[in-house]
Structure 1
Amino acid sequence: MIGRITGLLAEKNPPQILIDVNGVGYELEVPMSTFYSLPATGQTVSLATHMAVREDGHFLYGFASEDERATFRQLLKVAGIGARTALAVLSGLSVTDLAQAIALQESGRLIKIPGIGKKTAERLLLELRDKLPKALPGLAAQAAAQPGDDRGDIINALLALGYNEKEALGAVKQLPDGVGVSDGIRQALKGLSKA
């Protein structure tokens, strides 16, 4: 298996790129999130890779980060999701946004991705609900936190009190924007006690 590739970026033709490694050109398909972070052609680039061997050939996929590759691999495990669809998902949503959509069970965000219908979105939410947070520890809780908001601290407090991640995320989703940590914990606990 090829796990990482480093060389000169020879060509950029979205979603494919060509990396020259000591005179050997490797074709890789990359999500648009990785494509936009690539340097100019002729520059050195290093990408995490996933290699797929199928009847019709060997395929190499490149990713700017380990989290992107781990997410791609989790997407491939979902029934009916192939490499093209997985790349489309990563091109349409960042890893953090995908983790947030899954943690908060927001199918609407997934349906906006070209090639993802309602049934596919629901299957992604169902099958990745428990797997993605395990593959990317702490990402779902971070994803639920918004900049300038204390939601991450509130979620961590609820987790420390013994609530599971789904309960904590559901309670935090009900909170008003900009709520402080102590008020947020108090309101979330009230909501959880009524449930």
Structure 2
Amino acid sequence: MIASLRGRLLEKHPNFVIIDAGGVGYAVTVPVSTFSHIGGIGEEVRLLIYTHVREDTLALYGFGGGREKELFEKLITISGIGPRLAVTILSGLPTDELLDSIRVGDAKRLTRIPGVGRKTGERIALELREKLESLDTDERPEGVSLSDAMQQDVVSTLVNLGCNRAAADKAVRKAVAEGVAVEFELLFRRSMELISR
């Protein structure tokens, strides 16, 4: 069983990446959060791996951090949720929002994720609520570049100041797109300006 994979990033696609490790290119399915933090083509990356083996396939699912992988593993214990749907669920909401939805039993919010119907949303909220204690600590994915880490720090700071996480993420991304991501303070101030509009 493959537990982690370290190597050079060969290809990067929205739902999978190819990593060259020891001359072998491994296709690894990743959620959006891991995809957005993995780095650029040619860079060395490390992913935690869940190896899914069936009689006809071997599939690798990669995660930037243990918290995300653990949530994935808990999701696939629920009847009707396989690895592909679990990745879709992790991609559908930021991890903190997904955990909050499960904690408060907000099945309606979960049904906004493609592929999650009313019954599946209710099952997720009901079955995972007790299992979430180990996932309460915040974690930054491994292999995140300084600018990605800085962006996450700005988002966390904005959320700690009372901003909505989705609005904070959007503002930080927009500020980065404007070229403001040179220093934490500048990125923070510009993000605050964008949120207050």
CA contact (8 A) 1:11 1:18 kept: yes
TM-score, normalised to structure 1, is 0.69
- 1:172 counterpart residue number: none
User: Are 2:167 and 1:148 aligned?
Assistant: no
Mapped to 2, the partners of 1:51 and 1:65 lie a distance apart of 15
- CA deviation string 1:118-166 (max 9, x = no partner): 1110010111011122x31456xxxxxx6335xxxxxxxxxxxxxxxxx
- 2:154 counterpart residue number: none
**What is the one-letter code of the residue matched to 2:112?**
K
The number of aligned residues is 142
- 1:108 counterpart residue number: 108
DSSP-derived class of the 1:123 partner? helix
User: Are 2:94 and 1:56 aligned?
Assistant: no
Q: Counterparts in 2 of 1:43-192, with a 5 A limit?
A: 43-133=43-133, 135-137=134-136, 147-148=160-161
Mapped to 2, the partners of 1:13 and 1:128 lie a distance apart of 30
Percent of matched pairs sharing the same residue: 42
Mapped to 2, the partners of 1:104 and 1:65 lie a distance apart of 24
**What is the one-letter code of the residue matched to 2:81?**
I
Mapped to 1, the partners of 2:105 and 2:64 lie a distance apart of 26
**Structure 1 residue ranges without an equivalent (≥5):** 140-145, 150-195
Mapped to 2, the partners of 1:21 and 1:138 lie a distance apart of 30
TM-score, normalised to structure 2, is 0.68
DSSP-derived class of the 1:130 partner? helix
**What is the one-letter code of the residue matched to 1:136?**
L
The structure with the largest alpha-carbon Rg is 1
Report the aligned-residue RMSD: 1.4
Structure number with greater CO (CA < 8 Å, separation at least 6) is: 2
Distance verdict in 2 for CA 1:138–1:20, change over 3 Å: closer
- CA deviation string 1:70-109 (max 9, x = no partner): 0000000011101111001100112211111111111122
DSSP-derived class of the 2:37 partner? coil
Mapped to 2, the partners of 1:115 and 1:43 lie a distance apart of 33
DSSP-derived class of the 1:46 partner? strand
Runs of 4+ in 1 over 6 A off after TM superposition: none
